[in-house]
């Protein structure tokens, strides 16, 4: 084998500053598109995304050369910059400094993606998994 072959899946979660409900529908669409584009630029494959007004989750397959901390820094930085400089955030959109990162086995990826896709439902119904939720 001449090239490394990896299947490294990571589930990331981070919250808005002070858990403020900053991710309205317009910002959410913008942030999700930005995160997907930024993953591509870094050589990662975003395979799942979801969240609520005060936090978001991402599942990505990452190359062995990309550190999780670098990925999160770029995703958070590029998305907050975009929101604040497109007139939607007007300099008021921020993420908290911390984040959660969890490895995911290939066999569990679909289950986690399904969980992310139903974030709003989980939080509304009280069925969110505590270990995946920041500050809950």
Domain ranges of the chain: 8-117
Q: How far apart are CA 18 and CA 23, in angstroms?
A: 13
> So what's the pLDDT on residue 28?
93
Q: What is the fold, at CATH topology level, of the domain defined by 8-117?
A: Alpha-Beta Plaits (3.30.70)
pTM: 0.89
Average pLDDT of the residues in 105-131:
82
Q: Which of 3-7, 116-120, 130-134 has the lowest mean pLDDT?
A: 130-134
Rounded (5°) CA angle 11-131-123: 90
The predicted-structure confidence for 45-86, as pLDDT tens digits, reads as follows 999 999 999 999 999 999 999 999 999 999 999 999 999 988
* Residue ranges with strand state E in the chain: 8-15, 45-52, 55-62, 100-104
16 bridge partner residues = 95
Q: How far apart are CA 123 and CA 129, in angstroms?
A: 9
């Amino acid at each position: 084998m001449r090239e490394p072959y990896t299947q490294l899946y990571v589930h990331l979660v981070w919250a808005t500053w002070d858990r403020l409900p900053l991710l309205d529908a317009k910002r959410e669409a913008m942030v999700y598109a930005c995160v997907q584009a930024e993953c591509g630029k870094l050589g990662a494959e975003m395979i799942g995304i979801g969240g609520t007004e005060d936090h978001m989750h991402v599942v990505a397959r990452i190359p062995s050369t990309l550190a999780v901390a670098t990925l999160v820094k770029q995703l958070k930085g590029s998305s907050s910059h975009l929101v604040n400089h497109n007139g939607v955030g007007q300099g008021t959109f921020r993420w908290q400094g911390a984040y959660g990162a969890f490895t995911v086995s290939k066999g569990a990826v679909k289950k986690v993606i399904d969980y992310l896709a139903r974030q709003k439902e989980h939080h509304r119904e009280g069925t969110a998994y505590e270990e995946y939720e920041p500050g809950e």
